[in-house]
Structure 1
Amino acid sequence: MTSSESPSGYGFGTAPVFLASISTILGAIMFLRFGYAVGNTGMLGAAAIIVVGHMVTIPTALAIAEIATNRRVEGGGEYFIISRSFGTTIGGAIGISLYLSQAISVAFYMIAFGEAFAPLAVRVEGWLGMGLDLRVVSLPAILALTGLVVLRGADLGVRALYVVAGILFVSLALFFAGGTVDGYAGDAVPWLGGIEGGDPFMLVFAICFPAFTGMTAGVGLSGDLANPRRSIPLGILSATLAGMAIYIAVVYKLGTSAPAELLAGDQLVMSRIALWGPIIPVGLAMASLSSAIGSIVVAPRTLQALAADRVVPAEGANRFLSAGVGLANEPRNATLVTAALAVVFVVLGSVDLVARIVSMFFMVTYGALCAISFLEHFAARPSYRPSFRSTWWVSLFGAVACLVLMLQMDLAFALLAMGFMVALYLVIRRSRAEATDDLAEIFHGVMTQATRWMQIRLQKAPAADWRPSVILITPRTFDRHAPMEFLEWLCHRYGFGTYLHHVQGLLDPDTFEESRAVRQRLVTSTSERAGAIFVDTMISPSMASALAQSLQMPGISGMDNNTVLFEFSVHDPASVPEGIVSGASLASVARMNRLVLRHTDHFFGNRRSIHVWLTWHDYRNANLMVLLAYILLGHPAWDDAEIKLYAAYPKGEVKERTAQLRAMISEGRLLISDKNLQVFATDDRTDFSRLVEVKSGEADLVIRGFTEQRMQQQGAAFFQKHPTLRDVLFVSAEETIFIQ
């Protein structure tokens, strides 16, 4: 994409973005509530409010600037940025909250506009002998403003910004040129604190925070900018920094020009300080009017973009709200709806109440924007190439700061706002047939990047404790399910499993397509069972070559595969267990622990009993056998199972071996009671096979050890011993494994 972009909408430049933002930043809160802030929290407290507020708005401004320069930003402003980064479903949930904050802001600024007429209301009260409700100013004003915007469009609103901003800066200049209020000598400057029993810091912050949210007002003009990728970053960043500097100066001027009691009690105290007092109500009126213009121009465009994406859960409403008028696609219907909503909140008539509602909705939106920027940095997608870059930790800080401040400002309302967001997400997803799980898509790149980082770390720093990393390859996937489930049980909590289906043949287009289809079937199957294993296919001319390739595969989890699982059914032909003998020998070359599962139609029965048999032939396998039994108990399918440990040793070793086994069970904290440990004294006359079958004939799983030597001596017959037993797992340890 080139840097030059064709103009859209009215083709505005950077100046309207800056003016819309700065005139909203230097708005009603500055005139009406910053004296209150200094009076209640002191100059340093008010300065802290500015700093903390900008700890949210600056990261957000940087995030918007970054995301806006990654792709062409169209109509809808912040909603467009969120939805095209997070997806329409999540973007819609956040976008509706954003729209509500913008629409309610119209009411907030028009209430403040009415407050500018408070001095006149005092005179009217003297003439009429009755109080004047300032809503008689706010309500007609919002209707008149709506009429102008509907009839003349955003072009009139933007041209008015130049006039309004000029008057605003004149009022500020006269304010700074003023002296102290009458009777104040400046000897009690409220540096560290305000009035006694003043409002708490977080309440004051919640009331004042909307003052800093105006920096995104210009973003809503995105669809009417000639070059939004340039104008949005330049306009909002310059407005944010300029606004911060002016607010610090306002706090200093207020604190050194009037006592704390007057600051806290007179919301128009700036008029007492200014060189010409009447300019302050005029400036307040202009600031409120400019902010209201910005909001009533921006909010309908957000609603129009939401409806164009069919986010509103009613098709008729989407058609009505997305309709535009003229070449500039003016959102006339959305403007009327916004005005109606604003009127409702104007009727409430409370600046402080509406300010707290606006603050919460803006916090949600800003936190989402910062989170997007952080996730994009972390995911490191090649398609994310903004020409302006923020820093990942700045965006993360902004997201966390938004969450913390929301909870501090009003815990109940914060939880309600987040619950409202979740409900919106669910409603939008269900109402849109083609909606995808945007949450999964968002974190796909993040998980990929996190996995890459963790795999490298795991390879460099292997774990001290042994855990199973098991690989199973078989061509007999779809005529049995015991092997795959058994692998899932082994790797449910403590390890990692890789299941490979062998596709016999050479790699060619046909076998490749077959392997992709099989892989999808495997993914679907494991997903339905919530199986925590990795599944894939292996194309190879023979099972032996497939096994050789598999044994050399790097571990998917970041640690090397340390165990291979073979399987066969009692119904398989003799060639299958014979092939396992050669495969197990090959695995021994790769120093892999070897497991051979012989499964039956019993399918592990009720999964209540696991019998482990230790003998004098395979003492090296003992720790692995016991550990695998314990690991199986960690799966919910074996929740009610118990382990019975049987051992057969020569008579002279029974006492010593029994003590060793009890110590292993105790020190290893294994779930085996003394009554479930039994040691047999054996000699050449003992029929060991008969002993196993008598003791474990009803066991759901029997675990036996084997060695390479005995397997080579007896061949496949070794794995066919104890034919009356149900399911049997044969174990051979190639590693030295300790139970700690």
Structure 2
Amino acid sequence: HKEDSPFLSTSDSASKRNDYYDKNLALFEEELDIRPKVSSLLSRLVSYTNVTQGAKEHEEAESADASRRQSPNMGTLMGVYLPCLQNIFGVILFLRLTWIVGTAGVVQSFLIVLMCCSCTMLTAISMSAIATNGVVPAGGAYFMISRSLGPEFGGAVGLCFYLGTTFAAAMYILGAIEIFLKYLIPQAAIFHPADIHAGSGAMLNNMRVYGTICLSLMAVVVFVGVKYVNKFASLFLACVIISIVSIYAGAVKSIFLPPEFPICMLGNRTLVRDLFDVCGKTVVVGNDTIPSQLWKNFCSSENSSSAHCDEYFLHNNITEIQGIPGLASGIIKENLWGDYMEKGQILEKGSLPSVDVHGSMETFGFYVSADIATSFTLLVGIFFPSATGIMAGSNRSGDLRDAQKSIPIGTILAITTTSLVCILFAVGSTDIIFGDAVSKNLVVGTLSWPSPWVIVIGSFFSTVGAGLQSLTGAPRLLQAIAKDNIILFLRVFGHGKANGEPTWALLLTGLIAELGILIASLDMVAPILSMFFLMCYLFVNLACAVQTLLRTPNWRPRFRYYHWALSFLGMSMCLALMFISSWYYAIVAMGIAGMIYKYIEYQGAEKEWGDGIRGLSLSAARYALLRLEAGPPHTKNWRPQLLVLLKLDEDLHVKYPRMLTFASQLKAGKGLTIVGSVIQGNFLECYGETQASEQVRNMMEIERVKGFCQVVVASKVREGIAHLIQSCGLGGMKHNTVVMGWPYGWRQSEDPRAWKSFINTVRCTTAAHLALMVPKNVSFYPSNHERFSDGYIDVWWIVHDGGMLMLLPFLLKQHKVWRKCKMRIFTVAQMDDNSIQMKKDLATFLYQLRLEAEVEVVEMHDSDISAYTYERTLMMEQRSQMLKQMRLSMWSHYSLLMGSLYSDEEEETIEVLPEKNQMTWTSEKIEAERRNRSKQEQELECHHCTLSTLYLAQSSRFYFLCFYNRPI
């Protein structure tokens, strides 16, 4: 006979196996709810995902053939390398790099390319470390930063990344329209300049109209189906690769056979080519020499003898030079250094002869002039978008066969390839004299081989494809942020079509991109998205640096070639490039990110992603606590660290919430606040601790008390209070002051537990050498929303020094509730004292303490003070004598004292000393002392308190506060 076992997979035992699990595993039902079985746990880990469906999965969900999701099968080449190439190579490479080289020169343009590529390379190293630290969900930089630095940083930088991607779509569309209107079909322009002096206003309007139309068409394509965008992705990538290859082929060809690219010069000034047909002042027609179109442009008459011509035109010759002389011509020496120009400045070639004669302002429109003012910082901001796009591989991590291997290799190789291409492209374009379109042809297109149309058409389709990719990715990034529910006003953008397509997010993306289209200038939009991408890369480096320095146990990236110094260097470069590009754009971008951060922090992000900022706070707190352990605090650094003892009712609600109000009004001390309470019962059987802690925390939030909550379960309340007084706090962050309420109705109550608990707390506080504050009439304390227009805070300074006694009203006056109240200090003088001099001395003392208060001296008879001082002195003498006789050490005396606090006798008397050494404070003595108070003292005190709002007095370490319920 073979026993049935739940571990044997046989069909006969299937039903019995189920019964076995039902009966035997029922013992572990509660544990299985928390900890799933190993098999199901491994299955969930393998299929783990933390994002919404991507564009590809959306289209698969719409298809009937996609009933089962295909497993990821993309490798490094198709999944990371080529997508990064397609995103990095873009409109700046084809339209602006030759202009940047021609303006900045070889040296500075090489520095610009090196700075931007180094920044992205360092960022890629940090990103690779984060991406290989476990399973990385799709979503790019947003998920990396949010899961590494927390929801506040993640939301702020995620929105910046979204805005950067959206403005990138606008930049690509503007680039496509510029290629279309300038180099493909110039006749399609709707607006035309009225004359040559009209400037570029007509062109900007054309860009706005055609850009809006193009954006609308692209948004419709993305809305109808992303599968059409994915189908054309390979075509767009092929256009990019073919265009780059043709440029390098043309550069090699120019060494042996430079292309024809004539430039007409008047003196050393460059002329606009499309305003004339022949580069000369005259033209020969048959046997006659007649003025050319250039003559007509610069002269008022065709008759050379009587014409009034421009002075510069008359004194300078017209020459035609080769625009692309080739690498072998040695032109690279002339282009080593930059020549930055102001807006409207004429483009000149310094090596040509020129007669320096001021020409007429009316003829300036015939020269090629600068459209914008150029500088090194502006060129950095314009070029940097051509180095972005390194997140394309991490965005596809869900489709990769081995993301932890493919992302680092593919991204770093792609950045290396594009960096070499840009550097070689910059060097290869130095054989161009003027890096601008001084004719109707695209300069880089003229350099390409076999035909300029390869570059024109290829660059057009590549920019259109990049724009479509941006319009596809930006809405999904916004949808991911909205679905994380960390920014409340973005919740609506988390919804979309039935298959999850982000319809509302696409609409918002289109509206924001339209703002970039309305700017209508590629050179103005590029620095804007540079700021947002640099902000994103900065925090990627910060996330890697923080995780590396914290050395958290879960930080184990498979990518080993990273270091915190490299991350900090990358972060510093990002910050430097932000302010180099445009300091005011950098401030605006940081301001936007800061406002989003504070908004998420204010709303209270409920996400717990195990972020590094929390770990950084933990490390900083640990370091600070270890430093605080070095020694006791200096007097200048002393501040009240409060332990507020609260009483809970039967429903575990705070019985006197005004105790927390009082604690919050002392927050000007910037000290520690611990709110403690005791639940009577057995810890192993009591389940009310969690509920009580939640109730106390909610009340602390309502009363705006920033501190910690500690709820203790004890068999007796006095034992719990003793535990709180002894054990609350950590290291140097321990309480030095206990706050508890005055026992109500203890005179009339027959139950002695109220006053015994109070006396026990006083004794525990005294034994722990802590200060004790006892507010009376705490239910009448003003709330944080009330304001006193007048009133007094009275301090009665009797016998003891008034250090903390004067600090408390000062801290209260910092709060808006007590700010308009005045402070009065009453000190006691004997009949033979000089009251006038005492008042002056006290006023001087307050002045030196920088406290503003009224000083009053109250004269009392010697008998009123001597009884108290005599008894206190006698107590100290008897205690010293008793300790000598019993030869008790301080430690044994402390143990004896604390042992009495944990006595099981409920009716135990409060004396702990032997009967023969009892103190003289008997009940008869106390009653006699009460009767000995003079009527004069009572009358003075009552007279002053009639105008008082808050009354403070002190006895040893005991601070008594009484609130008088006066109209506000």
Q: Same fold (TM over 0.5)?
A: yes
CA distance in 1, matches of 2:334, 2:842: 79
Pick one of 533, 538, 550 that aligns with 2:724: 550
Query: For structure 1, which segment, 179-188 or 481-490, has the greater mean C-alpha deviation from structure 2 after superposition?
Result: 179-188
- SS of the equivalent of 1:11 reads coil
Please say if 1:157 is aligned against 2:233: yes
**Counterpart in 2 of 1:175?**
251
Partner of residue 422, structure 2: 247
Q: Deviations over 1:663-707 (max 9, x none)?
A: 4312211122xx434353642268374243333344222222213
1:72-221 pair list within 5 angstroms: 72-79=135-142, 81=144, 98=161, 101-102=164-165, 105-106=168-169, 108-109=171-172, 112=175, 154=230, 157-158=233-234, 161=237, 164-165=240-241, 168-169=244-245, 171-172=247-248, 174-175=250-251, 178-179=254-255, 181-182=324-325, 185-186=330-331, 189-197=334-342, 199-221=374-396
Greater C-alpha radius of gyration: 2
**Is the 1:472–1:499 Cα contact (8 Å) retained in structure 2?**
yes
Mapped to 2, the partners of 1:460 and 1:285 lie a distance apart of: 72
Q: CA deviation at 1:447?
A: 4.0
In structure 1, the partner of 2:798 is 615
Assess if the C-alpha contact under 8 Å between 1:501 and 1:538 holds in 2: yes
Tell me, in whole angstroms, the C-alpha distance in 1 between the residues paired with 2:631 and 2:87: 54
From 61, 73, 76, the equivalent of 1:14 is: 76
SS of the equivalent of 2:689 reads helix
Aligned to 1:592: 770
Decide which moves more: 662-671 or 78-87.
78-87
Equivalent position amino acid for 2:739 in 1: L
Amino acid at match of 1:668: L
Could you tell me which residue of structure 2 aligns to residue 735 of structure 1? Answer: none
Once the two structures are superposed, residues 346-367 of structure 1 have per-residue CA deviations (whole angstroms, 9 ceiling, x without a partner) of: 8986432443454344345444
Distance of aligned partners of 1:550 and 1:634 in 2 relative to their CA distance in 1, 3 Å threshold: same
Aligned amino acid, residue 603 of structure 1: Y
Q: 1:64 to 1:258 in 2, by over 3 A?
A: same
Compared CA separation, residues 332 and 280, structure 1 to 2 (3 A)? farther
1:351 to 511, 514, 522: 522
For residue 532 of structure 1, the aligned residue among 696, 699, 706 is 706
Residue 613 of structure 1, CA deviation: 1.4
Alignment correspondent of 1:738: none
Deviations along 1:79-108, whole A, 9 cap, x unmatched?
A: 554566678998677656645644654564
- 1:388 is matched with which residue? 559
Select which of 501, 523, 528 maps to 2:697.
523
After the TM superposition, which of the residue ranges 212-221 and 529-538 deviates more from structure 2? 212-221
Give 1:305-324 correspondences, 5 Å limit. 306-307=478-479, 311=483, 314=492, 318-319=496-497, 322-323=500-501
Q: Is the 8 A contact 2:663 2:705 kept in 1?
A: no
Which residue number in structure 2 is paired with residue 489 of structure 1?
Answer: 665
Structure 2: 5+ residue runs without aligned partners? 1-41, 49-68, 194-201, 259-323, 343-372, 484-489, 866-933
Matches of 1:397 and 1:580 in 2, distance apart? Answer: 60
Alignment check: 8 A CA contact 1:89 1:435 kept = no
Deviation of the 1:581 alpha carbon: 3.4
Match of 2:91 in 1: 28
Amino acid at match of 2:830: P
Deviation at 1:507, TM superposition (A): 1.5
Alpha carbons of 1:300 and 1:533: their partners in 2 closer, same or farther (altered >3 Å)? same
Q: Is the 8 A contact 1:20 1:291 kept in 2?
A: no
CA offsets, 1:541-566, max 9 Å, x none? 23432233223325359523222233
* Residue type of the alignment partner of 1:584: V
What is residue 693 of structure 1 aligned with on the other side?
Answer: 942
CA RMSD, 1 decimal = 5.1
Q: Unaligned 5+ residue runs, structure 1?
A: 324-330, 712-717, 729-740
Deviation per residue, 1:510-569 (Å, 9 max, x gap): 2xx211111100100110121223222122223432233223325359523222233214
Per-residue CA shift, 1:253-296, capped at 9, x if unaligned?
A: 445x345x556968954567x5x655676356546644654553
Mapped pair 1:642 → 2:818: no
How far off is 1:21 after superposition?
1.8
1:435-459 C-alpha deviation (Å, 9 max, x unpaired): 9555999665554444334333333
Higher helix share: 1
Partner residue in 1 for 2:851: 670
Between the aligned partners of 1:357 and 1:348, the Cα distance in structure 2 is 11
8 A contact 1:24–1:291 mirrored in 2: no
Identity rate, percent:
22
Tell me what 1:459 maps to. 629
**Contact 2:101/2:435 (CA < 8 Å) preserved in 1?**
no
Check 1:693–1:102 CA distance in 2 against 1; reply closer, same or farther (3 A cut): closer
Q: Which moves more between the two structures, 376-385 or 690-699?
A: 376-385
Q: Which shows bigger deviation, 129-138 or 680-689? A: 129-138
Question: SS of 1:479's equivalent?
Answer: coil
SS at match of 2:389: helix
Residue by residue over 1:395-421, the C-alpha shift from the partner in whole angstroms, topping out at 9 and shown as x without a partner, is 566567656755664567667767877
Q: Are the aligned partners of 1:27 and 1:288 in contact in 2 as well (CA < 8 Å)?
A: no
Residue 614 of structure 1 and its aligned partner are, at CA, apart by: 1.6
The one-letter amino acid paired with 1:33 is R
Q: Answer yes or no: is 1:57 the counterpart of 2:113.
A: no
Counterparts in 2 of 1:506 and 1:203: CA distance versus 1, 3 Å: same
Comparing 219-228 and 148-157, the one that deviates more: 148-157
**Contact 1:502–1:538 (Cα < 8 Å) also in 2:** yes
Letter in 1 for 2:96: R
The reply on whether 1:470 has 2:649 as its aligned counterpart is: no
CA 1:166–1:575: 2 relative to 1, 3 Å: same
What is residue 312 of structure 2 aligned with on the other side?
none
SS in 2 for 1:640: coil
Residues 543 and 422 of structure 1, relative CA distance in 2, 3 Å threshold: same
Do 1:83 and 1:90's aligned partners in 2 also have CA atoms closer than 8 Å?
yes
Shift of the 371–654 alpha-carbon distance from structure 1 to 2, 3 Å rule, reads farther
CA offsets 1:336-355 (integer angstroms, 9 cap, x no match): 99999989978986432443
**Structure 1 residues 603 and 195: alpha-carbon distance in aligned structure 2, compared to 1, 3 A threshold:** closer
- Structure 1 counterpart of 2:662, one-letter code: F
Kept in 2: contact 1:612–1:702 (CA 8 A): yes
Change (3 A) 1:284 1:354: farther
Quick check: 153-162 or 88-97, which moved more?
88-97
Code of the residue aligned with 1:509 in structure 2: it is E
Map of 1:737 onto structure 2: none
